[in-house]
Structure 1
Amino acid sequence: MTAKQLNLKTAPGHEVLAAAGKKILRPSGRGATETLFTWVDFQPGDTVLELAASFGYSAIALAQRYGVKVVGVEKNHESVARARTSVEAAGLSDRVDIREGDIFHLERISEQFDYVLGEAILSMQSGPGKAKILQGVGDRLKPGGQFLSHEMLAQGARIEALNRELATTIRVNTAPLSEVGWQAASEAANLTVQQHQTGPMALLNPLRIAQEEGLGTLLSLGWNLLVHPLMRQRILAMRRVFTEYGDDLGYIILRAEKLNDSLKG
């Protein structure tokens, strides 16, 4: 979606960033996700469910790199169409299936998977919303299957103020949890955290953008901020919050395993 198609005043922050040319919308960029993937042993033929697959970039990369089969669920019709075109162009129609659907209704997907991947999805949900999605994740995992997550982290005494600022600037009910909070939310859905790591937020770090997305992306972002005043206002407001709350805001990656039903209790 381009800046001309988007209502820059009201659109969620991630859509504004994408319209500006940002390709990686994870809290700590590509690096933390790469670390997350070192914690698992993907094998050819393993099955992965990706939440909010967007344009299919991650699904395609996973299939190409590891030989896994990926089902991506995405709510936006235009994104689904674009992702399917990219999958076909990559010659991966036999291994990547992008489906139009709602992550709040994962019960509509009949299969169970070896892995479920979610990045920067749960942070933008309310408490009940997080619980609903995580319950769906647990239901869609095979016994012993693993949930791989990369989310925003909020910690310290200013969490409530931080969440208010994030909701105002990002235009969604953004509510990242603390380290303990994310582990507890996972455990409540019968997902036992096996590994996790935390670190600083790097979503709008210019050096990180240049390193991971290329100088061309950084220059394109700069140009779009220059020629689109509303876009500049929205993105600089997000950057201000990230900077002001730099000691309280970060990322968390975690790997959680679904317990075998016989081991519950």
Structure 2
Amino acid sequence: MNERNSTMAATSIEQSKLPQADRGAEHMQGHWVLAQLGKRVLRPGGEKLTKRMLAHVTIAGNRVVEFAPGLGRTTRLILNAGPAGYIGVDRDEQVVKIIGPLAASVGGTCINADAAQTGLPDESADMVIGEAMLTMQSERGKHAIISEAHRILKPGGLYAIHEMGLAPDELDDSIKDSIRKDLAHAIKVNARPLTAAEWRAVLESEGFEVLWSGVEPMALLKMRRNLADEGIGGVLRIMRNVLTHPDLRARVLEMRRVFNRYGDALTGIAFVVRRKD
């Protein structure tokens, strides 16, 4: 993407009203709390895991659909790689307003639709990419979205996901339940992260074969991760906003307590899978 388009995209995010900005901090979903504070990388395994995942797919010359593009950090990586086409899919109109101009700068688009029912034609995509969205779905919701990715992919097409994981695979069910309950309370979303084996099983049950998987620490609120993802300027912006917005600060502290409590069990996990012929 050229310098002019990069500048335009950055400005469009700054000027757009962020999703859930009209809600009080106590009711806002956790990832949008972080976005309100100025955080731009909202993926469980950070930008490092996103880039590791994208290194295992070929975007150039392929038709890409991105589920739940959020603030567009990964969208930029996709568009800079030269896809033959790009369609973002998000059910939040504010996200569509953020991503639309960014996608349009290279001839793409972003549509207001549910990832489980995109309305896109069968076998119309070479690749589907989705991050930090399946985790927030029930078991049925996970299957519905993965099934939709399978439907719109051509045979042999790739599906890349980056989600929250649990470790080890043998983690006790009572601990899983505690994690899910405390996460739901802290981030105001019924998050249901899975173990690596469980993620693999649900993907395979919908007609995919696993080509690659990777993990990184779930260090969303750690200083080292934020310096890597946001840069010094971004970290200073976030810290300033945390100090000056006590309602948002309370939410962040609550999330941090939960993340720290279960730090040994929470991970960022990514998969690249292929639709079977």
Structure 1-normalised TM-score?
0.90
Query: Which position in structure 2 is the counterpart of 1:149?
Result: 161
Q: Deviations over 1:202-222 (max 9, x none)?
A: 211111111221111111111
In the alignment, does 2:167 pair up with 1:167? no
Instruction: Name the CA distance, whole Å, in 2 between partners of 1:28 and 1:68.
Output: 27
Query: Which position in structure 1 is the counterpart of 2:127?
Result: 115
Instruction: Name the CA distance, whole Å, in 1 between partners of 2:268 and 2:248.
Output: 24
Q: CA deviation at 1:58?
A: 2.5
**1:144–1:259 CA contact under 8 A, matched in 2:** yes
Query: Which position in structure 1 is the counterpart of 2:6?
Result: none
Query: Which position in structure 1 is the counterpart of 2:268?
Result: 251
**2:63–2:83 CA contact under 8 A, matched in 1:** no
**2:59–2:78 CA contact under 8 A, matched in 1:** no
Between 52-61 and 30-39, report the one with greater CA deviation.
Answer: 52-61
SS class of match (2:164): strand
**Structure 1 residues 125 and 206: CA distance shift in structure 2, 3 A:** same
- Unpaired segments ≥5 residues, structure 2: 1-16
Q: Deviations over 1:59-81 (max 9, x none)?
A: 23312223442110111112212
Instruction: Name the CA distance, whole Å, in 2 between partners of 1:85 and 1:66.
Output: 17
Q: CA deviation at 1:86?
A: 3.4
**One-letter code aligned to 2:70:** S
Instruction: Name the CA distance, whole Å, in 1 between partners of 2:252 and 2:84.
Output: 35
In the alignment, does 2:66 pair up with 1:50? yes
Find runs of 4+ consecutive structure 1 residues off by over 6 angstroms. Answer: none
**Structure 1 residues 58 and 206: CA distance shift in structure 2, 3 A:** same
**2:43–2:131 CA contact under 8 A, matched in 1:** yes
**2:79–2:103 CA contact under 8 A, matched in 1:** no
Query: Which position in structure 2 is the counterpart of 1:99?
Result: 111
**Structure 1 residues 57 and 4: CA distance shift in structure 2, 3 A:** closer
Question: Percentage identity across aligned positions?
Answer: 31
Q: CA deviation at 1:101?
A: 1.0
Q: Deviations over 1:101-145 (max 9, x none)?
A: 111212x11252111001001001111111111111111111000
Q: CA deviation at 1:4?
A: 6.2
- Unpaired segments ≥5 residues, structure 1: 261-265
Instruction: Name the CA distance, whole Å, in 2 between partners of 1:68 and 1:231.
Output: 40
Query: Which position in structure 1 is the counterpart of 2:215?
Result: 198
Query: Which position in structure 1 is the counterpart of 2:13?
Result: none
In the alignment, does 2:82 pair up with 1:66? yes
Instruction: Name the CA distance, whole Å, in 2 between partners of 1:61 and 1:179.
Output: 25
Instruction: Name the CA distance, whole Å, in 1 between partners of 2:45 and 2:269.
Output: 9
Q: Deviations over 1:5-24 (max 9, x none)?
A: 33211111111111111101
**1:169–1:234 CA contact under 8 A, matched in 2:** yes
Instruction: Name the CA distance, whole Å, in 1 between partners of 2:21 and 2:147.
Output: 37
Aligned pair count? 254
In the alignment, does 2:138 pair up with 1:126? yes
SS class of match (2:81): helix
**Structure 1 residues 50 and 4: CA distance shift in structure 2, 3 A:** closer
Instruction: Name the CA distance, whole Å, in 2 between partners of 1:249 and 1:73.
Output: 27
Instruction: Name the CA distance, whole Å, in 2 between partners of 1:257 and 1:50.
Output: 16
Query: Which position in structure 2 is the counterpart of 1:35?
Result: 52
Q: Deviations over 1:33-91 (max 9, x none)?
A: 111112123332x0111001234443233122234421101111122123223344xx3
Over aligned residues, Cα RMSD in angstroms? 1.6
**Structure 1 residues 137 and 87: CA distance shift in structure 2, 3 A:** closer
Query: Which position in structure 1 is the counterpart of 2:147?
Result: 135
**One-letter code aligned to 1:151:** E
